[in-house]
Homo-oligomer: A and B are copies of this chain.
């Protein structure tokens, strides 16, 4: 096992500064590759991106493999083991969301463009740019100290934007290779500009499609209306019964297992610098609503929800058509918080819907995916190491936040490898991930690289201390 040269972490940081402009150029190279995983016509581009990432690791002298899956390949790379230091698994993804609608992009989605201190391109922040910070930080260590202070393993997949459909199987089949003490993921955001954050909690999800069928074909609403149960009417009745006027989900037992927010957590959330007015301005609404008794920040990150994601029934074209639809369907989901069990909720939901089903209608409830929420212990030594790295890299201590979304891979690492994940986001909330004009602040990119470099240092000291 190689020992690190006696180069100081300061030399690592200097390297990052000296090579900043080349790092940007390299990121631009990756951003030019149209690795849209959902688009089968771009299959070759997706592979090209995987190859590009693998080449990066090879150039650093890491043991690298382009692992085939039934879908897009996974890039795995690892540095040598470091005695007495933890093994860190870096997870990221090289695939991106589709760039549509193309005409809303100010500069083309796959021509990275610098503007106002940002780099605009699809994937700039989600996740090529953020993932790349952990590659360049390793380069800085290797080029200055000659070795990394911890063993790094990289798992960079190409199907995150299409549900990571081959990832769990890969993890299961490669438990030994992936063995580690902690996972690091940069695929989230800072709390606000210059307010770096550690995300210690994520909501889970239980997503469904409810399909109701009434008459065997669409009927004339004049001839049949009033006599026949209308599946669209039934749908709105059933869905509306799932939540009450106080914003409380009405599925029996839904809140039974909810881990309540502690007084300290509520205090911490209340102290975050959050402007409700600014939040409303950003999303373009004049008022907010949700579960009574909780603040907006609590509701969006640490409380369970019921949201309809899609509604379909009958005539959706222009003008009027007097149809009594044969069927109606809805996609909807609950965001879950830790200790809520998606399977238990599916059972209770099915029972509740069956009770609500009116005569003359049949129902089909499809469960799309379920993942429980997670909270990473705030008092772990890894968390403390991350906080110190962020303080050095960003010049201020992080805030601790819970995010409303789900990152299923965090559950996979916990379930399959038994390890926690550090969610260290370098992005901003308004980076337009999944939307036109995605961007990544150039300053955040470099702070991410420097923080990542500090992180390897801090993690290496953790066990030695």
Chain A residues with a Cβ under 8 A of chain B: 203, 205, 207, 209, 214-217, 219-230, 232-233, 235-237, 239-241, 243, 279, 283-291, 296-297, 299-300, 303-316, 319-325, 328, 330-331, 333, 335, 358-361, 368-369, 403-406, 429, 434-435
Contact = CB atoms under 8 A, between A and B. Distances in A.
A229 B286 CA distance: 10
A151 B209 CA distance: 61
A320 B316 contact: no
A317 to B, nearest CB: 8
B233 A308 contact: yes
A287 to B, nearest CB: 3
Number of copies: 2
17 contacts: A220-B405, A223-B404, A224-B300, A228-B283, A228-B285, A232-B308, A233-B307, A235-B236, A240-B240, A285-B361, A288-B360, A289-B358, A308-B325, A310-B316, A314-B331, A320-B331, A320-B333
Contact of A313 (B232, B297, B310, B434): B310
Contact of A308 (B216, B240, B313): B313
Given A287-B359, A288-B360, A320-B333, 16 more contacts: A205-B222, A222-B335, A226-B307, A227-B290, A227-B296, A228-B283, A232-B310, A232-B311, A235-B236, A237-B240, A240-B240, A286-B359, A309-B314, A310-B314, A311-B328, A322-B405
Nearest to A245: B237
A315 B310 contact: yes
Nearest to A358: B289
B331 A404 contact: no
Given A233-B243, A312-B311, A300 B360 contact: no
A249 to B, nearest CB: 11
A175 B298 CA distance: 68
A360 B283 CA distance: 11
Contacts of A307: 221, 225-226, 230, 232-233, 324
A350 to B, nearest CB: 17
A100 to B, nearest CB: 13
A204 B403 CA distance: 52
Nearest to A287: B359
A402 to B, nearest CB: 11
A207 B404 contact: no
A112 to B, nearest CB: 23
Contacts of A435: 217
Contacts of A240: 236-237, 239-241
Closest 10 interchain pairs by CB?
A222-B405, A216-B284, A287-B359, A227-B300, A232-B308, A310-B314, A240-B240, A226-B305, A226-B299, A320-B368
Contacts of A229: 285, 287-290
A319 B368 contact: yes
Contacts of A310: 232, 313-316, 321, 323, 325
Contacts of A223: 300, 403-405, 429
Given A235-B236, A289-B360, A368-B320, A215 B283 contact: yes
A215 B228 CA distance: 36
